[in-house]
Each structure stands twice: as structure tokens, then as C-alpha cells.
């Protein structure tokens, strides 16, 4: 690869580096400065969007949590009501078992 044939030497000469145009440096620096100025504005917008997204997600999470909490409370109340009803039924049943034989003997 390093044998310097006449063609390679000619290619080196033909493709050699050339000085950049005189105004290229200032053109690049001006564009970079403009880029730097526009970046904070873009950053502010990105922050607002991020905050809005965070708020939306937060509100949605809170809403879901509240819904879940209410559902759990309702389920607990329902279970309690069932337990109370069950205890009442048991109480009535036990009374029936005790009182019926006595009334039957009175009739006889």
C-alpha cells in the first residue's frame, strides 16, 4: 500500500488539501453562536413539555390511586355488611332452635 507509484504521487498532488475560503470560519462561528442562542429557548420549551407531561402522568396516577382506594373501601364495607348479616342470621337461627321446642310442648 505504501509503494509510491507515479500515479499515487499524482493523486496526492491532485487531491491535496486546499485552504478554506476566507469567510468560512466566520460563517461557521456565526452559525454556532446562533445555535447557542436558540438552544436555551429550545431547552425552556422542552422543560415546559416535560413538566406538563409529568403533571398529566401524576394526575392520572393520583386519579387511579383514588379510584382503587374507593373500590377497596367499598369492598371492605360490603364484606363487613355480609359479616353482620351472617351474624344476625346465625343469631336468629340459634333462637329458633331453642324456642320452637318450648312452644311445641305448650301446644301439646
Residues in the site for other proteins, rule: CB under 8 A? 1, 5, 7-8, 10-21, 24-25, 27-29, 31-33, 35-36
Q: What angle do CA 98, 100, 105 make, to 5 degrees?
A: 110
Q: How far is the CB of 26 from other proteins (least distance, A)?
A: 9
Q: How far is the CB of 13 from other proteins (least distance, A)?
A: 5
Q: How far is the CB of 51 from other proteins (least distance, A)?
A: 24
Residues in the chain: 108
Q: Which is closer to other proteins, CB of 21 or CB of 101?
A: 21
- CA dihedral in degrees (71, 75, 77, 80; nearest 10)? -170
CA distance 106 to 97: 16
Amino acid at each position: 500500500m505504501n509503494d509510491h507509484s507515479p500515479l499515487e504521487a499524482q493523486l496526492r498532488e491532485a487531491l491535496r488539501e486546499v485552504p478554506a475560503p476566507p469567510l468560512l470560519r466566520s460563517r461557521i462561528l456565526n452559525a454556532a453562536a446562533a445555535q447557542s442562542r436558540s438552544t436555551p429557548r429550545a431547552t425552556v420549551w422542552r422543560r415546559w413539555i416535560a413538566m406538563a407531561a409529568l403533571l398529566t402522568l401524576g394526575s392520572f396516577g393520583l386519579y387511579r390511586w383514588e379510584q382503587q382506594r374507593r373500590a377497596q373501601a367499598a369492598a371492605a364495607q360490603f364484606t363487613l355488611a355480609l359479616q353482620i348479616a351472617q351474624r344476625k342470621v346465625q343469631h336468629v337461627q340459634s333462637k329458633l332452635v331453642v324456642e320452637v321446642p318450648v312452644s311445641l310442648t305448650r301446644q301439646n
